[in-house]
Structure 1
Amino acid sequence: MKMETQRDQTRELGRSRGRFEAQTKVSGRAEYIHNLTLPRMLHAKILRSTVAHGRIVSIDKSEAEALEGVHSVITSEDIMTVMPEPYFGPAFHDQPILAVGKVHYVGEPVAVVLSEDPYIAEEATHLIDVTYEELPAVFNEVEAAESKVVVHDELRPAGTFPDLKHLAGRRDTNIALDFQVRTGDVEKAFAEADHIFEHSFRTQQVMHTPLEPMISVGELTDSGITVHTASQSPSFVRLEIARLLRWPESRVRVRTAFLGGGFGAKLYVKLEALAVALTMLARRPVRVALTMEEQFYTITKHATTFKIKSAVNKEGRITGRKCTVWWNGGAYADIGPRVTQKSGFTAPGPYEIDNVWVDSYQVYTNLPPAGAFRGFGITQLVWAYESQADIIARELGMDPVEFRRLNMLREGRPHATGTIMRDAALIEVLDRTAERMKWNEPFDRGTEKLRRGRGVGVGFKALVAPTTSVAMVTLSADGSCFLHMSTVDMGQASNTTMSMVAAEVLGIDPEDIKVIRPDTDVTPYDMATLGSRSTFHMGHAVRLAAEDAVEKMKVLAAQLGVPEGEPLEAGKLLKQRYGMQAGNIVGVGSYIPDYISPNKETGHSESITPNWMIGGCGVEVEVDTETGQFRLVRMENVVDCGTALNPKIVETQVSGAAIMQIGAALYENMEFDEDGQLRNASFAEYKIPGITDLPDQMGNEAVDAYQNNGPFGAKGVGESGAFGVASAIAAAIEDAVGVRLTSMPMKYETVCRELHANDPKFRQWGE
């Protein structure tokens, strides 16, 4: 009842507001770590491995050290003098700061040159001579799962996060995590099925491409060390650096500024450990800044192979589904095991299926590491299960929307894990997507040369849990308000939204609230800015902190004899209490959602996630039947984000996610040769979408929904717009010319080849 009251009476929330920092950014006054210069600062340049798998026989750094202007040349032997166990990682402590004894992929950091001049440091890296004894390598995730070529001799679980406590140390395997779901009797479902469909779908390895490359700067202080870094997870960085140095957290300070994009690339530890180790060795500030090319060798999105087998009855109901997903984690696990589990249990799709079998494997290979990427593995899965939904509907002669509606999970029904679906507007998103596409109205199929087709796709995502967020609200005697939180604003306007949440409770103007940027000496703990968790987790923490401040004002007002019902103003109360402009009222709030770890054998849990994010996409394409070239004519994106706290920001988040997924669906692909060498690590050869690649028409909408356990009815939205994009494009191409694509990225030449191989005049689909 209280939440409904909040829904009806919100003052600030639900209004469209621009980003409060916009003027600062466009005027060039916004702070970014790239602009930081410290006295006596050294620049670091990294020498990277040229082989995918090999033992390091020797490193000759004499010529590099002799180059004028070089301060020092650092290898892992030097690192271990300040960090005896120089391995980091959120799931496994498997990644060395610099290669120790062996390299595991082309591009792995092997040595570093320090100089006051970055150009001299870069030149010196070419003078380092490294000799390798090459070893056999594995690159394909399915082959690596069974291969006797082992990337890591031993796996050492980090044990940091409660949802990854189950990770076990293993030897002689490339499987970092295997997660399973078992519901009902899948084999019986297949035996009794009227139809069986079995397909395999592939996604490729891509890069996050934040336009601000990664950067970290280390600085020694009287009390310890400060890390200035473009990070999405400053609290975790402090924890991990303190562990590596064997120091208390109080000696490690981590501060951020605005981020020029992140998308998961700047999570956990990336450059920070190296910057700290180099700073400790040099006893001077050290700046480690990557080029755009170097980001390709640092963190990527998982390539996947997804085999999906479905049993369907004559009415078109899915009665059983078996899913096997292999995630190409690259050389180091990063947070891949969490992706494998949290996304793995959604592999059957947003459908009510009585009999489910899921096997989800995180696999080491000798490629650049893969980790969190916008969508957190969901886009790879939606691509497969929604593509198969279209294939099944076409084979059965059913309308694709009606097939989905028939099978869709409803409110109050259990997901395959046993968690009851609550406040998940799946049907509403599907129906609204169809309505925006005018699905049931006559459709112009184009001409014989330029054929048109349509497709839809719907996906869902579980919120990462259990994770913790803490916030603090400080009210001053002049009426000022400060919001302390470690959520990182990387373009998603979190500072604006959280100011609105605090203002809603405090009854003040959001623009009168100053947000203190993440700084572990000043702002309280937040697990990380990832997985669309901030609106839900930090939104609750900020709400609770503001409510705590209000309660403390009420107590102070009662002590001072302020008549009940009189408006509470912190400034007046504090001046009356202290006789001058002095003192503070501090409210603190922390939040962690309910969560029950899944059963190891069945994957079942009564509370596997606190909420579900829903995204639907409708696409219209035009295909040239002579060349196979196609273009997106129209795209409609619909999401369920509960209550849209700031509709203007929701719209930009949805369109941004959709555009990013257009890149993965059609253009982006890290191309490796047979030796694991990356061929296209530059924007000259690696294409992301430009303005001319976008549809002529692009609409976005959030359905009318309410998340009952969310802050003011809200939940995250930063990824939902990406879910159904790829499968909807594939469905539209098939609807236009009858060509079904099963691998991403979807290429013009593949369509052309299939068209001419089947029938130069193509079959008349959709007549």
Structure 2
Amino acid sequence: MNDQTTQSRAVGASHPRREAREKVTGRIEYIHNLRLPNMLHGKICRSTVAHARIVSVDTSEAEAHPGVELVLTGEDIRKVMPEPYFGVMFHDQPVLALDKVRYVGEPVALVLAADPNVAAEAVALIDVRYDELEPVFDEVDALSSTSYVHEELKPGVPEIQFLKGVRDTNVGFPYQLRHGGDVDAAFEAAEHVFEHEFRTHPSAHVPLEPPVTVAEPTGPGLTLHTANQSPSFVAYEIARLLNWPQSKVRVRVPYLGGGFGAKLWIRLEALVAAAALLAKRPVKVSLSMEEQFYTITKHGATLRIKSGVDKDGRITARKCEVYWNGGAYADIGPAVAFHAGMTAAGPYDIPDVAINSLSVYTNRPVAGAMRGFGHPQLIWAYENHTDMMAHELCIDPLDFRRRNILREGSVHATGTALNTSAVEKALDRVTERLNWGKPFDKGNGTIRRGRGFAIGIKASIAPSTSEAMVRVSSDGSATLYCSSVDMGQGADTAHAQIVAEVLDIPVQRVNIVHPDTDVTPYDTGTLGSRTLYHMGHAIRLAALDARAKLEEMAAESGSNVPIWELFARKNGLPVGNVIGTGSFTPPGHVPPDPMTGQSSDITPYWMVGATGAEVEVDTETGRVTILRLVNVADAGTPINPQIVDHQISGASIMQLGQTMQEKVHFDYGQVTNASFADYKIPSMLDIPAIENALLEGEEAGGPFGAKGAGETGTFCVSSAVANAVFDAVGVRVHEMPITGETVYRALRKAANDPLEEDQDVAL
């Protein structure tokens, strides 16, 4: 068996996706297809008001409906979960509403029946009476509102216990960063000061497989079959809610039909677990596509950014105020405020920085993790802001960035150095691909053309842990046990390549056991582009451990013999296994100072992306057509180059939809476009020519030089398009999505002929 450094037959090659045939033939396992004997189906009765105290919940008619087995309310949940509040950072979300409802669509009751249609009919018979309270929907308005979504904060993890007992505020989590000296004095000394505000709106994840969970009482315990990206956390949280040892809770996760953050932490699992225990039968809850819109969204945000610039075009000071609309419950919102907030100053070398990033409660559906983890919103702001400063200073946008960009070894505003992070290379590559600085046909008449680019940076989530086991059988095949979830990103294929590389066997000889917390070891979760780096390391270490044990067996045998003979000599027959284990937590992490956000080692690696865009704008309608996207990504040394290329394309297309058309619309808290008939994701006809460039390089701390890239393609699409629109028609869009109406209104305003708010725009 060769050492990993001497050959690269498995790693670095574009092996086919191992699940491809199962998917195209319809044989792959999805929880939506799971049927268990004696199983009940659950349908959810949801709140019709945004903020109210619950006066009464009358379930008598629903319980009397033929075929209904059980109707559950929040008080029923207490029979198996004495404190029925869940959450990854705050324990603030009830399994079913208790005392109050905090958004339209919040689960209030659950109907169980053998026939899902019967359960749906009975839901309509539940009579819920409310005493309505004043709602708050906007993240900025929530700061000064005296209507509080939560009367008291309920932090759940040790790091934020300082918030315990805080009352009368809609700020769920405040993050701040201070870098350098006196930022106000730096503004006073600046030659120029620029200040701008930008907004983004909630959008929806809409994986084609909506959330689904089946819970099955199994003797003294409980098995959950669920579409979830963090099975280890689900097992932990369900055990905590039930006050059970974790060994009694088993969580199984097969392939997912998409996730993008929508299936992280707890979604349906706590509700379905409680229902199965109360019904003493298997229970399945499958959300409809419409219900996804009431379950989880992407954070909308208001972003205010102020920069001071000296006479040489160097940024000397920056202030950022970011307000994240977290919805009714915290979920992972505090971590978005923290992890995204820390990079709000961008990939720029700025001496004095002050950042405030606040996760804010509102009476909207929960906002959670979504591909990019808040960074597309931030980069939308700071890369628009960067171009605006460059144009006002009459400096070419590329030249302005080059004067200010962080270079290899430079210290980021967090206090952590940028190492093996190709910020400057990404900037150079994207502008080369755009032929920046060379003549460009801007069009004429009513059709105008423009181009723009943007660059962004993201820190990996830290600290986090992955564990893996590799079992080598007597026939030389290997089986990998890990709790990483393949939701379409190709994790299984890349992981098999790592095992094959270390053991020097064909990739096809590596089997993958999907997450099953009774069998597969712990993993923080499949999120934040952490999987390849963290789990990749754990898998490599486990395979090395297995290889060392095989080599020890060979040394004891005294000769170089086939693997089956090694086992035959040891066990009397060619049978048996060697098991290697590996665990990886990135070394050296230094928690940030709570007052300044400073850390000498805040991330195990940096992700860098850049995008260039060419657009066409119809000045008569404002319609924007994307002609070309150029994505540049720093992915270290790819384990599977083709999968990485597809990841970057998929990420950029997803972000393009949110840039141009996707927005969850609300009418006094009620989602009004909760279907694909009204909420439009990109179709094949919306996708422009896409070019991807992976920067050649090696992540020094990564497995075989690799690092995560699943989010990188999302970073800069929105700001690159906005900068291209400005280049085409000279108007700046401050809000996403960049619809034809938005651009047309900006054109009319620039021409001193603004539209009245009630005028229609014909597109």
Give distance in 2, aligned partners of 1:158 and 1:569: 53
Give yes or no for contact 1:203–1:380 (8 Å, CA) kept in 2.
Answer: yes
- AA partner of residue 176 (structure 1): G
Give distance in 2, aligned partners of 1:621 and 1:569: 61
* Residue aligning to 1:734: 726
Aligned ranges 1:66-81 → 2 under 5 Å: 66-81=64-79
1:602 has 2:596 as partner? yes
* Residue aligning to 2:677: 684
Give distance in 1, aligned partners of 2:6 and 2:565: 30
Aligned ranges 1:455-474 → 2 under 5 Å: 455-474=452-471
Aligned ranges 1:154-303 → 2 under 5 Å: 154-159=152-157, 168-184=164-180, 185-303=182-300
Q: Deviations over 1:408-465 (max 9, x none)?
A: 1011111111111111100111111111111122111112211000000111110001
- Cα shift at 1:34: 0.6
1:573 has 2:566 as partner? yes
The one of 78, 96, 99 equivalent to 2:97 is 99
Instruction: State the secondary structure of the residue aligned to 1:297.
Output: helix
The alpha-carbon distance between structure 1 residues 22 and 590, as it changes in their structure 2 partners (threshold 3 A), is same
Instruction: State the secondary structure of the residue aligned to 2:609.
Output: strand
- AA partner of residue 171 (structure 1): R
Give distance in 1, aligned partners of 2:750 and 2:646: 41
* Residue aligning to 1:706: 698
- AA partner of residue 680 (structure 1): N
Aligned ranges 1:439-588 → 2 under 5 Å: 439-562=436-559, 566=560, 570-588=563-581
The one of 652, 668, 678 equivalent to 1:658 is 652
* Residue aligning to 1:630: 624
Give yes or no for contact 2:153–2:163 (8 Å, CA) kept in 1.
Answer: no
- AA partner of residue 213 (structure 1): P
Give distance in 2, aligned partners of 1:735 and 1:655: 24
Instruction: State the secondary structure of the residue aligned to 1:607.
Output: coil
Give distance in 1, aligned partners of 2:575 and 2:601: 46
Give distance in 1, aligned partners of 2:450 and 2:564: 62
The alpha-carbon distance between structure 1 residues 761 and 269, as it changes in their structure 2 partners (threshold 3 A), is closer
Give yes or no for contact 1:570–1:585 (8 Å, CA) kept in 2.
Answer: no
Give distance in 2, aligned partners of 1:59 and 1:343: 40
- AA partner of residue 582 (structure 1): V
- Cα shift at 1:223: 3.7
* Residue aligning to 1:142: 140
- Cα shift at 1:168: 4.0
The alpha-carbon distance between structure 1 residues 33 and 569, as it changes in their structure 2 partners (threshold 3 A), is farther
Give distance in 2, aligned partners of 1:550 and 1:617: 42
- Cα shift at 1:740: 0.3
Q: Deviations over 1:86-141 (max 9, x none)?
A: 11000000000000011011100000111111111101111100000001111111
Bigger Cα displacement from structure 2, 719-728 vs 436-445: 436-445
Give yes or no for contact 1:7–1:713 (8 Å, CA) kept in 2.
Answer: no
Give yes or no for contact 1:113–1:125 (8 Å, CA) kept in 2.
Answer: yes
Instruction: State the secondary structure of the residue aligned to 1:639.
Output: strand
- AA partner of residue 465 (structure 1): A
Instruction: State the secondary structure of the residue aligned to 2:685.
Output: helix
- Cα shift at 1:480: 2.1
Give distance in 1, aligned partners of 2:593 and 2:310: 30
- Cα shift at 1:758: 2.5
* Residue aligning to 2:758: none
The one of 393, 398, 406 equivalent to 2:395 is 398
- AA partner of residue 27 (structure 1): T
Instruction: State the secondary structure of the residue aligned to 2:367.
Output: coil
Please tell me the root mean square deviation across aligned C-alpha atoms, in Å. 1.4
The one of 715, 730, 754 equivalent to 2:707 is 715
- Cα shift at 1:761: 12
Give distance in 2, aligned partners of 1:27 and 1:166: 53
The alpha-carbon distance between structure 1 residues 760 and 344, as it changes in their structure 2 partners (threshold 3 A), is closer
* Residue aligning to 1:765: none
1:51 has 2:49 as partner? yes
Give distance in 1, aligned partners of 2:595 and 2:73: 44
- Cα shift at 1:14: 1.1
Instruction: State the secondary structure of the residue aligned to 1:141.
Output: coil
* Residue aligning to 1:108: 106
Instruction: State the secondary structure of the residue aligned to 2:146.
Output: coil
- Cα shift at 1:760: 9.1
- Cα shift at 1:570: 3.9
Give yes or no for contact 1:628–1:749 (8 Å, CA) kept in 2.
Answer: yes
Give distance in 1, aligned partners of 2:139 and 2:28: 42
* Residue aligning to 2:59: 61
- Cα shift at 1:10: 2.3
1:743 has 2:735 as partner? yes
* Residue aligning to 2:759: none
Q: Deviations over 1:509-547 (max 9, x none)?
A: 111100001000111100100000001000000000001
Give yes or no for contact 2:624–2:739 (8 Å, CA) kept in 1.
Answer: no
The alpha-carbon distance between structure 1 residues 496 and 169, as it changes in their structure 2 partners (threshold 3 A), is farther
Give distance in 2, aligned partners of 1:557 and 1:313: 68
Give distance in 2, aligned partners of 1:451 and 1:504: 51
- Cα shift at 1:553: 1.3
Q: Deviations over 1:667-710 (max 9, x none)?
A: 1111112x211111111111111111111x21011111110011
Give yes or no for contact 1:475–1:570 (8 Å, CA) kept in 2.
Answer: no
- Cα shift at 1:9: 3.6
Identity over the aligned pairs, expressed in percent?
56
The alpha-carbon distance between structure 1 residues 400 and 17, as it changes in their structure 2 partners (threshold 3 A), is same
Bigger Cα displacement from structure 2, 149-158 vs 482-491: 149-158
Give distance in 2, aligned partners of 1:121 and 1:152: 31
Instruction: State the secondary structure of the residue aligned to 2:142.
Output: helix
The one of 127, 131, 134 equivalent to 1:129 is 127
Give distance in 2, aligned partners of 1:212 and 1:424: 35
Give distance in 2, aligned partners of 1:462 and 1:559: 46
- AA partner of residue 93 (structure 1): H
- AA partner of residue 537 (structure 1): H
The alpha-carbon distance between structure 1 residues 62 and 709, as it changes in their structure 2 partners (threshold 3 A), is same
Give yes or no for contact 1:164–1:338 (8 Å, CA) kept in 2.
Answer: no
Q: What is the TM-score normalised by the length of structure 1?
A: 0.96
Q: Deviations over 1:66-90 (max 9, x none)?
A: 1111111110111111111111000
- Cα shift at 1:157: 1.5
Give distance in 2, aligned partners of 1:133 and 1:168: 28
The one of 576, 597, 611 equivalent to 2:605 is 611
Give distance in 1, aligned partners of 2:419 and 2:9: 26
Give distance in 2, aligned partners of 1:728 and 1:47: 43
Q: What is the TM-score normalised by the length of structure 2?
A: 0.97
* Residue aligning to 1:589: 582
Instruction: State the secondary structure of the residue aligned to 1:330.
Output: coil
* Residue aligning to 2:410: 413
Give distance in 2, aligned partners of 1:711 and 1:643: 9
Q: Deviations over 1:6-26 (max 9, x none)?
A: 567422111112201100110
Give distance in 2, aligned partners of 1:443 and 1:761: 29
Instruction: State the secondary structure of the residue aligned to 1:10.
Output: coil
Give distance in 2, aligned partners of 1:92 and 1:69: 38
- Cα shift at 1:556: 1.7
Give distance in 2, aligned partners of 1:638 and 1:303: 26
